[in-house]
């Protein structure tokens, strides 16, 4: 868990970990030079499974994620940003899927939430079915077919992979591509991750993210000369398009188009998960503020 000045959301993220039905986990929180004392919040949790590591100065998300990757001890690795949260059965479902299929990477769907922690969309879920479909490695670099944040990966598959510390954004895309171009993967149909996309969206961030994407795809020019150049051109086009979208005030509508509307079952599952995490929050962090929810 990379963390930078996230005291307003960190308690809820940690509460969602404490609410997990699968209990054999550890969480490495890497404080990326915060000024709002996340260590005090971690001490409130009073759980030895949560370890705190502080970087001397802010080094960026890539550096924070890489430090966490170097610190973890488990056989499986998954991510949780300090401004997001996960559903209570997330870890259990993914551990079971990896152990039953042997696939080194298993991802799930995400719920897209607003600043008030309301679900407005779902994204990146796998096809319905009791058994996850196993996909072959990607044939060429492109947009990853799985979401980074809800993915769980066998540690053996990431031993030769590292986060690019020089990337301000999209270090997750770069990391995923290094794995998905080599290893098979699966996506569960479940929604298990709550992603606060709207709270962090801006034109500056969007343009900077697409610039980083162009850098990532240029890494593949030798091995994939055609597809890498095609992806760079697409990133340029999207950068131009988003400038127009934000200028017209259509940014929230553009974000909404990335996702499907949540179904009734998905909305109920989200509300149930949020209710459980909120209860754990009030029990374990009695001094913390409850989140603003719709």
Distance CA 113, CA 119 (A): 4
- pLDDT of 198 reads 66
- Nearest Cα to Cα of residue 61 among 171, 150, 175, 158: 171
Distance CA 125, CA 142 (A): 18
- pLDDT of 33 reads 94
Q: What is the pLDDT of residues 14-29, one digit of tens each?
A: 999 999 999 999 999 9
Please report, rounded to a whole number, the percentage of residues in the chain having pLDDT higher than 90: 80
Give, in words, the CATH class of 2-200+261-284.
alpha beta
Q: What is the pLDDT of residues 48-60, one digit of tens each?
A: 999 999 998 999 9
Q: What is the pLDDT of residues 197-244, one digit of tens each?
A: 766 678 898 999 999 999 999 999 999 999 999 999 999 999 999 899
> If DSSP codes are grouped into helix, strand and coil, which group holds residue 159?
coil
- Residue 290 above 90 pLDDT? no
Radius of gyration of the chain (CA): 19
The mean per-residue pLDDT over the stretch 149-171 comes to: 93
Q: Sketch the domain layout of the chain as residue ranges.
A: 2-200+261-284, 203-247
What are the E-state strand segments in the chain? 2-3, 27-31, 50-54, 76-78, 85-86, 105-113, 119-123, 134-135, 152-154, 185-195
The mean per-residue pLDDT over the stretch 41-67 comes to: 94
Q: How many CB atoms lie within 10 A of CB 135?
A: 17
The mean per-residue pLDDT over the stretch 35-43 comes to: 94
Count the alpha carbons within 13 Å of 249 in the hemisphere toward its beta carbon.
Answer: 0
- Residue 291 above 70 pLDDT? no
Structure tokens at 103: 């696939």
Q: What is the pLDDT of residues 87-123, one digit of tens each?
A: 999 999 999 999 999 999 999 999 999 888 999 999 9
Q: Tell the burial category of 174 from Cβ atoms under 10 Å away from its Cβ (0-12, 13-18, 19+).
A: buried
Q: How confident is the model at residue 287 (pLDDT cuts 50, 70, 90)?
A: low
The overall average pLDDT reported for the chain is 92
CA distances from 89 to 18, 22, 67, 260, 270 (A): 11, 7, 26, 22, 12
- pLDDT of 127 reads 87
- pLDDT of 258 reads 84
Query: Which residue is associated with the tokens 């990853």?
Result: 144
- pLDDT of 252 reads 77
Does pTM surpass 0.75?
yes
The mean per-residue pLDDT over the stretch 279-293 comes to: 75
Q: How many CB atoms lie within 10 A of CB 199?
A: 15
> If DSSP codes are grouped into helix, strand and coil, which group holds residue 30?
strand
- pLDDT of 288 reads 59
- pLDDT of 280 reads 95
Rounded-to-10 torsion of CA 72, 110, 15, 286: 150
Residue 265 CA, distance from chain mean position: 22
- pLDDT of 128 reads 84
Query: Which residue is associated with the tokens 């966490």?
Result: 68
CA distances from 206 to 5, 65, 216, 294 (A): 20, 20, 15, 27
Helix 203-218 vs helix 225-247: crossing angle, to nearest 10: 170
- Residue 289 above 70 pLDDT? no
Please report, rounded to a whole number, the percentage of residues in the chain having pLDDT higher than 70: 96
Query: Which residue is associated with the tokens 């610039």?
Result: 211
């Amino acid at each position: 868990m990379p963390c930078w000045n996230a005291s307003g959301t960190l308690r809820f993220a940690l509460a969602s970990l404490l609410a997990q039905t699968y209990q054999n986990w550890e969480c490495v929180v890497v404080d990326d030079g915060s000024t709002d004392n996340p260590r005090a919040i971690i001490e409130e949790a009073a759980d030895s499974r949560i370890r705190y590591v502080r970087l001397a100065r802010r080094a960026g998300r890539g550096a924070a994620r890489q430090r966490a990757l170097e610190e973890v001890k488990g056989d499986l690795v998954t991510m949780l940003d300090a401004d997001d949260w996960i559903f209570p059965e997330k870890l259990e479902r993914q551990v079971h899927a990896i152990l039953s299929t042997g696939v080194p990477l298993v991802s799930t769907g995400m719920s897209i939430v607003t600043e008030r922690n309301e679900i407005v969309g779902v994204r990146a879920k796998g096809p319905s079915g009791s058994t996850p479909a196993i996909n072959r490695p990607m044939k060429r670099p492109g947009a990853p077919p799985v979401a980074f944040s809800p993915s769980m990966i066998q540690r053996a598959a990431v031993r030769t992979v590292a986060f690019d510390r020089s990337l301000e954004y999209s270090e997750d895309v770069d990391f995923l591509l290094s794995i998905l171009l080599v290893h098979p993967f699966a996506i569960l149909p479940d929604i298990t991750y709550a992603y606060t996309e709207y709270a962090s969206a801006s034109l500056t961030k969007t343009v900077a993210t697409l610039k980083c994407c162009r850098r990532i795809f240029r890494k593949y020019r030798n091995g994939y000369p055609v597809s890498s150049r095609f992806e760079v051109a697409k990133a340029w086009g999207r950068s131009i398009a988003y400038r127009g979208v934000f200028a017209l005030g259509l940014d929230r509508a553009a974000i909404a188009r990335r996702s499907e509307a949540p179904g009734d079952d998905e909305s109920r599952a989200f509300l149930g998960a949020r209710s459980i995490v909120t209860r754990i929050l009030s029990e374990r962090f009695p001094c913390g503020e409850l989140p603003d929810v719709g």
